[in-house]
């Protein structure tokens, strides 16, 4: 019988029933594709999330705030307060809009000081005009990267195609090459695997000590063969397991990792150890 590993989820969100009406139509497209639109309509409770975590063997989640086009699905304050209320279960990842410049810069610092924030979450597709996004090597991000280094927190950036009907090109992982060269002290994770450019994402994680691949929103069962090999061999120190809950269920993703038949060391790194190191938990 394989060793039980208490998992740490690198990307998850709490969505209440009240937020269902706030989601724009481009997002409902992907909720329907994942067959979870009923979950987003119904909403969730903290108690429900904790119960699902317990059932799946997930010890802690990086609870991410989420704002899109001025509509708040989970605010920094709400996520931050939950992380302080349940410190053994939740760690906090804040979000800001880089276009807000100094307001965004100060908000990151506030989140760290008030809520012990562990990471800044960025979604390049969200900072453009709906057709063209702003890639993460754009200079508007640079003050935020510098602030994250100063505060010793990580940055988690959406990479790859977008599930919602929003621009994808800004999610090319190769844009992180310039960021890592400019900010070698910045801990960077490319979230959602980077498909269809996962080879770019893997080679960046192999190349740079400070770049990691994060797997949320991508079921392990459907990971490309080259990425499964990466996880089990030369990339096993550079992958963070995640769900993008509630897009994917905790138990499904844990069970599908078990089905990969990784050796115990690689599995423990994927599900737990790499997240502890990356987020400094």
Average pLDDT, the chain: 96
| Per-residue pLDDT tens over the stretch 232-272 | 999 999 999 999 999 999 999 999 999 999 999 999 999 99
Distance between CA atoms of residues 225 and 238, nearest Å: 17
| Per-residue pLDDT tens over the stretch 204-227 | 999 999 999 999 999 999 999 999
Confidence of residue 2 (pLDDT cuts 50, 70, 90): low
Tell me which residue has tokens 């008030």. Answer: 114
| Residue 212, domain member (yes or no) | yes
Model pLDDT, residue 3: 74
DSSP state letters, 39-87 = HHHH---HHHHHHHHHHHTEEEEEEE-EEETTEEEE-HHHHHHHHHHST
Q: Answer yes or no: is pLDDT of 174 > 50.
A: yes
| Residue 2, domain member (yes or no) | no
Model pLDDT, residue 21: 85
Give me the mean pLDDT over the 70-91 stretch. Answer: 97
Distance between CA atoms of residues 203 and 210, nearest Å: 12
Alpha carbon separation from 34 to 8, 37, 217 (Å, rounded):
22, 8, 9
Q: What is the pTM of this model?
A: 0.96
Q: Answer yes or no: is pLDDT of 84 > 90.
A: yes
Model pLDDT, residue 16: 87
Model pLDDT, residue 159: 98
Q: Answer yes or no: is pLDDT of 231 > 50.
A: yes
| Residue 77, domain member (yes or no) | yes
Q: Answer yes or no: is pLDDT of 86 > 60.
A: yes
Pairing of strands 71-74, 90-95: unpaired
Q: Answer yes or no: is pLDDT of 1 > 50.
A: no
C-alpha closest to that of 154 among 201, 104, 191: 191
Distance between CA atoms of residues 60 and 32, nearest Å: 27
| Residue 1, domain member (yes or no) | no
The CATH number of the domain holding residue 64 is: 3.20.20.140
User: Whole domain around residue 242: which residue ranges?
Assistant: 7-279
Q: Which of 13-22, 57-66, 129-138, 221-230 has the lowest mean pLDDT?
A: 13-22
**241 in Cβ contact with 254 (< 8 Å):** no
Give me the mean pLDDT over the 166-190 stretch. Answer: 98
% of the chain surpassing 90 pLDDT:
93
User: What total of structural domains would you count in the chain?
Assistant: 1
């Amino acid at each position: 019988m394989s060793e039980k590993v208490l998992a740490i989820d690198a990307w998850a969100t709490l969505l209440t029933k009240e937020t269902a009406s706030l989601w724009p139509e481009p997002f409902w497209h992907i909720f329907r594709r994942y067959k979870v639109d009923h979950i987003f309509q119904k909403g969730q409770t903290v108690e429900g999330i904790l119960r699902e975590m317990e059932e799946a063997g997930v010890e802690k989640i990086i609870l991410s705030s989420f704002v899109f086009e001025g509509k708040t699905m989970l605010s920094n304050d709400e996520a931050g307060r939950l992380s302080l209320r349940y410190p053994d279960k939740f760690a906090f990842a804040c979000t800001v809009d880089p276009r807000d410049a100094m307001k965004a810069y100060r908000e990151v610092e506030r989140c760290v000081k008030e809520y012990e924030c562990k990471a800044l979450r960025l979604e390049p597709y969200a900072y453009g005009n709906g057709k063209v996004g702003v890639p993460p090597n754009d200079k508007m991000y640079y003050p935020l990267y510098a602030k994250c280094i100063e505060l010793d927190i990580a940055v988690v950036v959406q990479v790859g195609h977008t599930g919602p009907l929003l621009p994808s090109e800004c999610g090319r992982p190769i844009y992180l090459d310039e960021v890592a060269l400019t900010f070698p002290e910045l801990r960077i994770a490319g979230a959602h695997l980077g498909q269809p450019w996962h080879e770019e994402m893997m080679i960046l994680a192999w190349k740079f000590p400070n770049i990691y691949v994060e797997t949320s929103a991508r079921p392990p069962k459907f990971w490309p063969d080259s990425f499964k090999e990466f996880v089990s061999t030369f990339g096993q120190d550079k992958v963070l397991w995640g769900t993008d809950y509630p897009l994917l269920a905790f138990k499904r993703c844990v069970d599908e990792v078990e089905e990969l038949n990784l050796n115990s060391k690689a599995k423990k790194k994927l599900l737990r150890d790499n997240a502890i190191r990356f987020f400094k938990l």
